[in-house]
Structure 1
Amino acid sequence: MLDTSTYISDVTATWISCPIPYEKQHVSDFGRIDSFDMALVTITLENGLVGYGEAKAAVGSQGSCQSLVAVIENDLKPQLVGKDSRNINQLWGCLYNGPRAGYAESEGRSFHVLGRKGLWISAMSGVDLALWDLAGKRLGVPVLELLGGASKDVMKGYASGGWADVDNIGEQLISYTKHGFDAVKMRVGIMDGSVNASVARVTAAREALGSDCAIMVDAHGTFNPAEAREFCRRTAELNLRWFEEPVSSDARGAMRSVKQNATMPISMGESEFTCFDFQDLIDRDAADVLQPDMAICGGMTEGLKISALAVANQLELAPHCWGSAFSFIAGLTLSFASPAARLIEFSLGANPLLKEMVNEVIESDGGKFSPPIGSGWGLTLNQDFVTEFSK
């Protein structure tokens, strides 16, 4: 008799929206951030085993997940229920290729559905992460072990935040280093009002931190090409670790022009979908550092392909980890598995989905992280939190 214990019996998605107290909110080009949002994907097997994943409707913390929940429950769930959860690659292909999945399997290439980018792939990301969680739990090992184990013993983190004005940015970033981090990231761009203001803030940050602390800057794609090139020229002596998303990620030619004129590495990728987007960045010589978000790019299954592209092209991999505990651990897992990864992002903004949604304590040890432990993602839900902040 066929053992169906690994077969999927249910798939649900829940929009989690947790308000942030006013005194802990920050203001950026996305406006005042007053909540943290995600779609929590739950996959249940016939034997009762449950796996969790995260899907995101926005690269920042806010974003309505109503449409994302609808895609997962109305479009993806019917294709998953009754299928064997162990066949992660096949399930990913079924969701990506739709009714032509059979052709994709037989021909060895994609026959993608129209939604090969956007919310469809984000929804698939949450499903994929939940399937990997189940795979680890079923075998009683971390997902990292399923990927072949760690490629290094310790992963350095960088503290991500940095919204303060020119008079306070130094103090804000120094507070990050008190947690043991010797690398920090700050925001620049349209939120400052001018290139002059962004340059002044970064200069103040370097003066406050000294020469030994690595500084990354993130413009969220808000400079135009001329502004981005001017920023690069005027900060060339500040020894920036990287300049993240200087211009719109849609403007590939502009991104390439900035990279060709920059003295610091250019990073991007948090709003890209699947390995095809990252291959396009590589083909255009538009980035030095690839930054897939595991809750957006297609999940761990696609993250592994993106890691392989980074390795093959001698590029750095630095997953975008501005989300819940689930996407952080997934990004950390990929980073440990990939020889191309050197740093992992760790949010020092107000982030209840990272700190309060699970029962485990997620914190660095002097600015460094050890390989994830526990079955699957090694995370258990704080059910009271989920109940309180479910929409």
Structure 2
Amino acid sequence: MRIAKVEAFWLRCPIPEAKQHRSDYGLLTAFDMTLVVITTESGLQGFGEAKAAVGSSGVCASIVSCVENELAPILIGQDARNINELWERMYNGVRDHYAIKRGRVFPILGNRGLTVSAMSGVDMALWDILGKSLNVPVVQLLGGAIRDRMEAYASGGWAGADAIGEQLLGYTAKGFKAIKMRVGVMDETVDYSIERVKAAREALGPDIKIMADAHGTFSVPEAKRFCRGVEDCNLYWMEEPISPDNKKGTAEVRAMTTIPIAAGESEFTRFNIRELIELSAVDVIQPDSAIMGGITESWRVAALAAAYQLELAPHCWGSALSFMAGVNIAFASPSAVVIEFSSGGNPMMYDLVEEQIQAVDGQILAPTDPGLGMTVNWDFVKEYKQ
């Protein structure tokens, strides 16, 4: 099953004004992604996503160039089923033969950053091809689903203190029993972030799980003050309290609070996650398959979570493709118990593909369709290709 073509498309789709929101990233008026398409000699296609940014909007031109000009020459003519080998060849570059012979990495200079993001989209597409070729979902390739359904949490929560309760109740009205809200520098002060969380808890009552996500924008002292201020709100986790560049600081925050600390969406490869674990910085690991290094690397991270008895919660804020990658990994892992479900304006989740992604009564069912189970809407691609 040889690879005949490797393509990448930067897609940018406007978000309808009624579904736009403002956060520390500013007013989000459009959603960006890189769609990676791999075609075999038989015509079978696999689809993947590569991200230029953790949030909704980012310039993807460099990822497109990397996929088509750097990675494609490595891939074309190779057997698409040899995913592990191809991952090592992309990651190690011209020294790949040393890595394969000696059993350790000889990474390229771009072993973090957008090159790994580009690899992520390629890797995801390869898993999609393998599943389709065998007529099984990716989760089956990973050993099968551990459970038949999983709780989803509604990911949103940008409203001010006077409206956050109403916004979050809109999520629970759809059956969600867990929600995530944003806090941090977007609130200007730590006190206002605390006020918003308290307002959320008052509106939702004691039984709804609440996660708070600071997008890495608090300083260490601010994060500590926030955690002290919301200790009585029973947060399920505090996500990225401070910059991912300060892993020791994250560990310092974790050491002073009983609130579980989540991180990992901004990290590249298992090696970055290993650092977080070694520093005792996290309780919840959040790999993003469109950033981390694809399904291959996220599954390695899942093994770390299981070994260290940490919760795994894949970051699924992106297109339908990265969402389904995270879902397949989560269902195969004993460490995952809840999955992110985008509740903001997200055309890449709902309009990019022909299938309808739904959470029923706040639950996601185990995947059953071949590969990632998604069919790309080519009319959408043609309209929003940059």
- Please give the TM-score of this superposition, normalised by the length of structure 1: 0.98
> Residue in 2 aligned with 1:166?
161
Alignment of 1:256-275 (within 5 A): 256-275=251-270
SS of the residue corresponding to residue 157 of structure 1 reads: strand
After TM superposition, give the deviation of residue 384 of structure 1 in Å: 1.2
The reply to whether residue 310 of structure 1 matches residue 305 of structure 2 is: yes
The reply to whether residue 116 of structure 1 matches residue 111 of structure 2 is: yes
1:141 to 120, 136, 144: 136
* Counterpart residue identity of residue 18, structure 1: C
* Counterpart residue identity of residue 88, structure 1: I
1:366 to 361, 364, 369: 361
> Residue in 2 aligned with 1:103?
98
The reply to whether residue 384 of structure 1 matches residue 370 of structure 2 is: no
> Residue in 1 aligned with 2:237?
242
> Residue in 1 aligned with 2:83?
88
Question: In the aligned structure 2, how far is the partner of 1:285 from the partner of 1:205?
Answer: 29
Question: In the aligned structure 1, how far is the partner of 2:41 from the partner of 2:379?
Answer: 25
> Residue in 1 aligned with 2:205?
210
* Counterpart residue identity of residue 34, structure 2: A
Percent sequence identity is 56
Alignment of 1:223-238 (within 5 A): 223-238=218-233
Query: Any idea what the Cα deviations from partners look like across 1:149-199, whole Å, max 9, x if unmatched?
Result: 101121110000000000000000000001111000000000000001000
> Residue in 1 aligned with 2:288?
293
The reply to whether residue 8 of structure 1 matches residue 3 of structure 2 is: yes
Question: In the aligned structure 1, how far is the partner of 2:179 from the partner of 2:303?
Answer: 26
Alignment of 1:174-193 (within 5 A): 174-193=169-188
After TM superposition, give the deviation of residue 373 of structure 1 in Å: 1.8
SS of the residue corresponding to residue 42 of structure 1 reads: strand
> Residue in 1 aligned with 2:343?
348
After TM superposition, give the deviation of residue 383 of structure 1 in Å: 1.4
* Counterpart residue identity of residue 137, structure 1: K
Question: In the aligned structure 2, how far is the partner of 1:375 from the partner of 1:154?
Answer: 18
2:15 to 10, 16, 20: 20
SS of the residue corresponding to residue 162 of structure 1 reads: coil
1:52 to 47, 51, 68: 47
SS of the residue corresponding to residue 38 of structure 2 reads: strand
The reply to whether residue 195 of structure 1 matches residue 200 of structure 2 is: no
SS of the residue corresponding to residue 266 of structure 2 reads: coil
> Residue in 2 aligned with 1:3?
none
After TM superposition, give the deviation of residue 267 of structure 1 in Å: 0.2
After TM superposition, give the deviation of residue 23 of structure 1 in Å: 2.1
SS of the residue corresponding to residue 300 of structure 1 reads: helix
* Counterpart residue identity of residue 183, structure 1: A
SS of the residue corresponding to residue 200 of structure 1 reads: helix
* Counterpart residue identity of residue 301, structure 2: I
SS of the residue corresponding to residue 196 of structure 1 reads: helix
The reply to whether residue 337 of structure 1 matches residue 332 of structure 2 is: yes
For structure 1, the residue ranges without an aligned partner over 5 or more in a row are: 1-5
The reply to whether residue 43 of structure 1 matches residue 52 of structure 2 is: no
Count residues in correspondence: 386
> Residue in 2 aligned with 1:219?
214
For structure 2, the residue ranges without an aligned partner over 5 or more in a row are: none
After TM superposition, give the deviation of residue 124 of structure 1 in Å: 0.2
The reply to whether residue 62 of structure 1 matches residue 47 of structure 2 is: no
- Please give the TM-score of this superposition, normalised by the length of structure 2: 0.99
After TM superposition, give the deviation of residue 341 of structure 1 in Å: 0.3
* Counterpart residue identity of residue 304, structure 1: W
SS of the residue corresponding to residue 23 of structure 1 reads: helix
SS of the residue corresponding to residue 282 of structure 1 reads: helix
SS of the residue corresponding to residue 321 of structure 1 reads: coil
Question: In the aligned structure 2, how far is the partner of 1:246 from the partner of 1:229?
Answer: 9
Question: In the aligned structure 1, how far is the partner of 2:253 from the partner of 2:7?
Answer: 43
* Counterpart residue identity of residue 224, structure 1: S
SS of the residue corresponding to residue 104 of structure 1 reads: helix
Query: Any idea what the Cα deviations from partners look like across 1:81-114, whole Å, max 9, x if unmatched?
Result: 0111110000000000011111111111111111
Question: In the aligned structure 1, how far is the partner of 2:298 from the partner of 2:350?
Answer: 24
Query: Any idea what the Cα deviations from partners look like across 1:259-314, whole Å, max 9, x if unmatched?
Result: 00111100000010000000000001111000000100001100110000000000
